[in-house]
Structure 1
Amino acid sequence: MSLALSVLDLVPVTTPQTSADAVAASLALADTADRLGYARYWFAEHHNMPAVASTAPPVLIAAVAARTSRIRVGSGGVMLPNHAPLTVAEQFAALEAIAPGRIDLGIGRAPGSDPVITALLRSSGPTSDVENFEQNLIDIRALAGDGATISLRTGDGLRDYDVKATPAAAGVPEMWLLGSSDYSAHLAAKLGLPYVFAHHFSGEGTERAIGIYRSEFEASETLAAPRTFLTVNTIVAETAEEALARAMPALQNMARLRTGQPLRAIDTVEAAQSEPLNPAAQSVVDQMLNRWIVDSPDAAAERIQRLATEFGVDEVMVSPGAGSRDGEPVARALGRERTLELLADRLL
């Protein structure tokens, strides 16, 4: 089976980095992915996290689209409850105009943050009501293309308005529905959308969700058959020992999150090695190591190929979480770049 590889980027921030350094490192990583032949490069949306700088996917997508020539660029994903549907449609219609035929609009239903930040994101007024999620997806797909007729209540009663996200669209971004529950699988199948289950979250429920999606899929104007791929946290180095060392900063940060400890920027490899884990954190790390791919090049490539075969997909999106060592350039992520290089050598 021919396999495509893609990248999911949260723009991780390490302790020596500023936000500008972290963004510069991700832009360099996107250049690497483009050069090596990766299929797509997606930015996640998270808020108010000291270790994550991917707060505004459309801005980052524009930056990568402007400096690359081949790779598809998109969101993994835009968290729709935080945004008005017209705003999302306008932003991605503009991105499609910047890089025609290379823009992916991945949309999720979760807020991507805690309740306080969610309230702040919506403080300027109503955004996208979760209860109207299905209709909002339909509206965004229409608004970004030929336009939609929207009914609004005014002082004169209910009126219809013809609305377009951009005056003369020559193409539309490819919309993907993202999810971590059965709900998203049912909805993607109903609307005939490409679908991605967040396998990298926990590694559980993937088979069931993909099975629901494939069995219930209804063809749409834009998609004749089910289309999905797999996401997985991946750290690869020349040896398994170096891969584990590079993985520990991200693993320890996730353990802090899962055990209710204060969050901070991601440690360097050396700092992570000097910090002992309590039993609760060690248990979380052990569980994640069972699901993440942290290995030497040949073994990692074999495990990725095996996952793709198991779930019947022809594309795997890796989230490269390799940490940085002391003394490495702060505006680069050499461990993350090396992960992409080693995998490309064996799979692309």
Structure 2
Amino acid sequence: MNTPAPALSVLDLVPVRHAQTSSQAVTASLDVAQRADELGYRRYWFAEHHNMPAVASTTPPVLVAAAATRTSRIRVGSGGVMLPNHSPLIVAEQFAALEALAPGRIDLGLGRAPGSDPVITQLLRQSGTTSDVDRFPDHVRDIVAMASPEGATVRFTSGGTYDVHATPAATGAPEVWLLGSSDYSAQLAATLGLPYVFANHFSGEGLERALSLYRDQYRPSETHPEPRTFLTVNVVAAPTADEAEARALPQLRMMARLRTNKPLTALESIEQAQSAPMDPLAESFVASARQRWFVGTGDSVADELTAFAARHGVDEVMLSPVAGAYDAEPMDAATGRIQTLELVTAGVSARVG
């Protein structure tokens, strides 16, 4: 008997390739979102990163709104909003407004990391008390309450109360998820009775422990009586294994630069990545990271994803389609990323059939 195939979702950092404009990068990603909707993917999330030449996903709410208008079925959301960078009320208002725009289709993934380097973090957190990372649990609770139809109640120490609603007449609320790559977020999600996602695409270290902590310590909530989680993975699929490996190389080299503190650039084309030398440290990182990625034909990747989901007890896997582009491919399209989604879907369908 075949292992059931997991549901598939998409994580998008809106990659920017060499000589590509921000407008072209966003246009390409919205095409990916539309195609994911057509292919039956469950959800489409945008990450929050700042001041990175290869990433245009700086403002998830804006991108979520754009994707919501280009899709009709798929859930759209953030993966995630880095909460210490923002006022909880503003986040609640933004995602409550998105829920009004696309009722029943909005996810709000929240993270605790800065999403950039220390200089940018300081610029993002000039607003003062909202940058207090120690208050992250309170801010999560506040957002859940304010974005709900019931709203939140502020109680003054001197007596009296004040009602706060993210929108004046909400009938639904975005689904809140906690994101993380450490024990902290797993335990907090368990305590608050919220869904949880481990950032496995960024670092697979500590995955088993985080999932175990979340499931073992989970406290049922009214909206989520049982723990709910899925995993993120870096994926490249192509008609041949050789093409898949070639399309994975630009992103692998970018991650190597990030991890070895080299100057960051826009993503290389496949031809640029294949022709440029790597030092031994970068080669070592690329080889190590490649072992955790899912790269190959649609059928082989579908088989690996299904086994991976079964091994960790999840019924959903979120793909970060990291396929690079050839020089000749249009700047306002994401040929390799869309090909990845199409081939993985076909591979999964073949397993089910």
- Whether the TM-score (by the shorter chain) exceeds 0.5 is yes
| Aligned AA (1:149) | T
Structure 1 pair 158–278 and aligned structure 2 pair: CA distance change class (3 A)? farther
Equivalences for residues 183-194 of structure 1 within 5 A:
183-194=184-195
Q: Percent identity?
A: 64
Instruction: Show the counterpart of 2:151.
Output: 147
| Aligned AA (1:305) | T
1:152 CA drift (Å): 5.8
Equivalences for residues 1-348 of structure 1 within 5 A:
1-145=4-148, 146-151=150-155, 160-348=161-349
Q: Runs of 4 or more off by more than 3 Å in structure 1? A: 157-160
Q: 1: CA distance between counterparts of 2:153 and 2:40?
A: 40
1:204 CA drift (Å): 1.8
1:193 CA drift (Å): 0.3
Q: Secondary structure at the match of 2:154?
A: strand
Q: 1: CA distance between counterparts of 2:342 and 2:192?
A: 36
Q: 2: CA distance between counterparts of 1:112 and 1:133?
A: 15
Calculate the TM-score normalised by the size of structure 1.
Answer: 0.97
Q: 2: CA distance between counterparts of 1:123 and 1:139?
A: 21
| Aligned AA (1:48) | N
Name the stretch that deviates more: 124-133 or 246-255: 124-133
Cα offsets for 1:64-94 (capped at 9, x unmatched):
0011000000000000000000000000000
Cα offsets for 1:10-61 (capped at 9, x unmatched):
0000002100000000000001100000000000000000000000000000
Q: 2: CA distance between counterparts of 1:114 and 1:158?
A: 42
| Aligned AA (1:116) | V
Aligned length: 345
1:299 CA drift (Å): 1.2
Q: Secondary structure at the match of 2:92?
A: helix
Q: Secondary structure at the match of 2:201?
A: helix
Contact 1:109 1:179 in 2 (8 A): yes
1:126 CA drift (Å): 3.1
Q: 2: CA distance between counterparts of 1:3 and 1:152?
A: 48
Cα offsets for 1:152-208 (capped at 9, x unmatched):
68xxx5763211111011100000000110011111111110000111112121111
Q: Secondary structure at the match of 2:286?
A: helix
Contact 2:5 2:306 in 1 (8 A): no
| Aligned AA (1:269) | I
Query: Please, what is the CA RMSD of the aligned residues?
Result: 1.2
Q: 1: CA distance between counterparts of 2:156 and 2:258?
A: 42
Structure 2, unpaired ranges of 5+: none
Q: 1: CA distance between counterparts of 2:323 and 2:55?
A: 14
Q: 1: CA distance between counterparts of 2:277 and 2:63?
A: 35
Contact 2:299 2:348 in 1 (8 A): no
1:294 CA drift (Å): 1.2
1:2 CA drift (Å): 4.2
Structure 1, unpaired ranges of 5+: none
Calculate the TM-score normalised by the size of structure 2.
Answer: 0.96
